[in-house]
A = this chain, B = another copy of it.
Amino acid sequence: MRARLLEATVDCLVERGFAGTTTTLVSERAGVSRGAQLHHFPTKNDLVVAAVEHVTMVRADELRAAVAGVPSGERRTRQVLQVLADHVTSPAFTAALELWVAARTDPTLLAAVAPLEKRVGRETHRLTVEALGADEEVPGIRELVQATLDLVRGLGLADTVTDDRRRRARILDRWAEVLDERLGVAG
């Protein structure tokens, strides 16, 4: 019941955006009555925050699994970048983007989103460090990993307006080269 509501909410966020996501629409999509929905999530904000948290957790597991499946070797860095790139073009990222932008001008929503984002950010960073085999003790390496995450975020944002997969691929190819060179040696 809860799960159905959350998934319907994410679908709505992706398809119609935050403003276009009405609680009525979600309840209809989820096949859940208006009252039942209101019972679980009293307000729209409660619903969307829970939905993004839910999809983020699911997505985190997928990310871990994808990273675990990447073989070590020559092109590992590039493939890890691909996993990240796939993430920022996924519905989970799109839904989160809608939430970020909405939260920017809604204090109530921001109060709920900020801590969630902090947790997710830390976890993603940790995962990326591990996946890349980066040694954060080396000065500058931590910043490169952060830059990598901000880069893919930027690519994800650009993707929502103009989907140019080949451009993304070329940029990531190049980025992987930089990373490979920098991660191996002392920064």
- A contact residues vs B (CB 8 Å cutoff): 15-20, 94, 97-98, 100-106, 110, 113-114, 117-118, 140, 143-144, 146-147, 149-158, 160-162, 167, 170-171, 173-175, 177-178, 182, 187
Contact = CB atoms under 8 A, between A and B. Distances in A.
A157 B100 contact: yes
Contact of A117 (B100, B140, B162, B174): B162
How many copies make up the complex?
2
Given A151-B147, A151-B151, A15 B105 contact: yes
Contacts of A117: 161-162
A98 B101 CA distance: 7
18 contacts: A17-B102, A17-B106, A19-B19, A20-B105, A97-B101, A100-B160, A100-B161, A101-B101, A113-B161, A114-B162, A118-B162, A140-B174, A146-B167, A146-B171, A147-B174, A151-B154, A157-B157, A178-B178
A94 B104 CA distance: 10
Contacts of A146: 167, 170-171
Contacts of A175: 143, 147
Contacts of A18: 19
Contacts of A150: 151, 154-155, 158, 171
Contacts of A114: 161-162
Contacts of A98: 101
Closest CB pairs A-B (n = 5): A154-B154, A150-B154, A153-B154, A143-B174, A17-B105
B104 A174 contact: no
A19 to B, nearest CB: 4
Contacts of A100: 157, 160-161
A181 to B, nearest CB: 9
